Structure 1
């Protein structure tokens, strides 16, 4: 059994805090001075530039306020003096124009500011024990493009919006033109720790390894990688093993008509009488299976004598490396395996918050680089919110 103490961060409770107070707490968790310095020209010309740190704060506050366009952000800064002040703008000077907001956002993209800030916040969360990366769920979600749709036929650029399709929970095929946001989410906190953005036509199974590589580069000690059946490819199991983790993925049986001889689809051996053997635990990466009659799971007409002269009954051991796709430690179908797979819903809840409560679904920029920055900014809001709540709780404990 794998039992972990969880740190419960409720994003829904965070949103119940009065907006002005929430912004105070949100900004208290962020030190943006070094990032803002990268947005400032080393040799400014002309009039005094508008504070780049204030603009960066406004970009980060916008998803929390449901603001998804430069136009709406400009209007909010003009009409809401408290919001403007909390972002750090002078109340005696004009707010940044829409074109200024657009130019600064482009600089954020060019300088990779969102990617750097995301990485730094993830490391802060890890240092504080808010995330541990021990159990990580991987999945993707569709994002509509803010671009003119192109025909489905013909050669398409590999770095631009494209057509994608997925099946929903009811088996209906859903098509969209745009992108996919791929996340690796820490199941303990339901916070994102790695992000990738691709055109919508990129297959989910091909993006597991790039996300694993990001986890490896950050030296996460991941034990289990939880994915749905769309990631059921040998290369993903092998990559997980190479990174010292176990992939927990349901088998996709659409291409398999029959299981290998002497076993079921899930890797459970069958005894000489054709009964499924009983999983009896694992030692290191050796899976142990016992005679089902000896364990009381079936009433074999020949008893244990058909397979073994031992009173213990026949025993079969399988090493995970014999077939990394079919064998897993813990064994497929075991209670522990199912409990681990149930944690995969953490990534679904993370996507739900990004789309329903923030602005991941409200893409109003064009091109994969800008959409990537947009996705990172929304992920940053989740991390900063968790840090703000942690800081608030620590202050209350001290008080």
Structure 2
């Protein structure tokens, strides 16, 4: 009887079961905190020396996420009373523990820069170099995050002045159209239509992202509206590796679809050598411009179709596949990448149909996906392969659940949008660092077993 050796699998649970100093060491090894240290370094030779151990402070902020310590005050209290914890975070016994104000100033400096995003980019590049990120499919979704800020009191809107009855004169209409055009041009980019994002760079879109907490609404599993005051976290996740490849925070009122193009542009800009074949999303992202953006990176969109009071197409089924005279759906056969054409073949029901040899019953249908990017995707909607890829979207939902359940994503302790973004960036960074630490430990175990 042959013996098959299964590869070892080092999980997150086993990482938490390691000794504290070993666990911290593995996580710290995955994060290069140099970009944050540049923010707090002394720029002149003169003046008072830096008395705060910023390296240890940064590590303690990372460990706060890992150990699920609720507040900064609890971190300080543990540093004061737990000697081993203090040493494992990098503080010396002779050093004084920084105050809550020192931590607040550090978080403020982090929120005013892109240091956390730079560290995230370095970490992902290292994971790609080591061969841990080889995903063929990227899943994008959003999750709600409640703010610590207090929601403003509801203000009653003034009743608008009654409109002038009758038809506008030509001069009045031209003036009204000009006013509307000027108002549209002056709007921030995320208040405009999605089309305005196509010609903008990722860095411009990132800097223009609204961060103020706002009221958001979504439908729960029962179809009822759920309201919250705060933010939305938008993630692009590798469906196989489950690394967070792109992350953005926005106001809670932002439409999910308006964050897809910035995420896709960010992947192409920050990781130009990372190539994927499919991008899968739910029906909230069913906009033609998102399909176009996915095509620019030579990938295919697998997005659930969102019917917008569209009439039923005669001669096509619910997945837009052609039907025969007796309304049997043609079967998806293949996709020709050269000509961007879907090939449909005759249904099985037509084998014994008396109209099989009639000119009305066509053997093969070919449809170019550029006819309508929303309706015709590669692979075709409703096909077995399309459904298999669409199921991979659960990866981003799983990561959202991990971030909220184990990495304190829903525990924003800072007020204002920029500091909330710093918390969000730190959470996603720590998650990826823990993933990288587990992957490295897995590789070591497999090499030892071999």
**What TM-score do the two structures reach when normalised by structure 2?**
0.80
1:194-213 CA-to-partner distances (Å, cap 9, x unmatched) read 11110000000111101000
Q: Spell out the pairing of 1:164-243 with structure 2 (5 A cutoff).
A: 164-217=216-269, 218-219=271-272, 220-243=274-297
**1:330 aligns to what?**
379
Say if 1:150 and 1:162, in contact at 8 Å, map to a contact too.
no
**1:3 aligns to what?**
none
Bigger radius of gyration among the two: 2
CA distance in 2, matches of 1:7, 1:374: 33
Structure 2 stretches lacking a partner, 5+ long: 1-6, 158-190, 192-208
Secondary structure of 1:305's aligned partner: coil
Question: CA 1:24–1:121 in structure 2 vs 1: closer, same or farther (change >3 Å)?
Answer: same
CA distance in 2, matches of 1:368, 1:223: 34
**Correspondence 1:280 to 2:333:** yes
> How far 1:70 sits from its partner (Å)?
1.9
Say if 1:137 and 1:185, in contact at 8 Å, map to a contact too.
yes
**1:362 aligns to what?**
411
> How far 1:87 sits from its partner (Å)?
1.2
**Correspondence 1:58 to 2:113:** no
Question: CA 1:314–1:33 in structure 2 vs 1: closer, same or farther (change >3 Å)?
Answer: closer
**2:136 aligns to what?**
134
Secondary structure of 2:415's aligned partner: coil
CA distance in 2, matches of 1:176, 1:378: 21
CA distance in 1, matches of 2:248, 2:150: 23
Question: CA 1:9–1:106 in structure 2 vs 1: closer, same or farther (change >3 Å)?
Answer: farther
Say if 2:12 and 2:438, in contact at 8 Å, map to a contact too.
no
CA distance in 2, matches of 1:200, 1:241: 28
Question: CA 1:232–1:89 in structure 2 vs 1: closer, same or farther (change >3 Å)?
Answer: same
Coordinate RMSD, CA, aligned: 2.5
Say if 1:152 and 1:163, in contact at 8 Å, map to a contact too.
no
1:98-128 CA-to-partner distances (Å, cap 9, x unmatched) read 0001101111122322111111111111111
**1:112 aligns to what?**
114
Question: CA 1:160–1:324 in structure 2 vs 1: closer, same or farther (change >3 Å)?
Answer: same
CA distance in 2, matches of 1:7, 1:242: 39
Secondary structure of 2:264's aligned partner: helix
Secondary structure of 2:289's aligned partner: helix
Secondary structure of 1:361's aligned partner: coil
Say if 1:195 and 1:211, in contact at 8 Å, map to a contact too.
yes
* Aligned residue pairs, count: 387
**Correspondence 1:265 to 2:323:** no
CA distance in 1, matches of 2:303, 2:247: 20
Say if 2:42 and 2:50, in contact at 8 Å, map to a contact too.
no
CA distance in 1, matches of 2:354, 2:156: 63
> How far 1:318 sits from its partner (Å)?
0.3
Q: Spell out the pairing of 1:296-315 with structure 2 (5 A cutoff).
A: 296=349, 300=353, 302-305=355-358, 307-308=360-361, 313-315=362-364
CA distance in 1, matches of 2:298, 2:36: 34
**What TM-score do the two structures reach when normalised by structure 1?**
0.90
Say if 2:87 and 2:93, in contact at 8 Å, map to a contact too.
yes
> How far 1:143 sits from its partner (Å)?
0.4
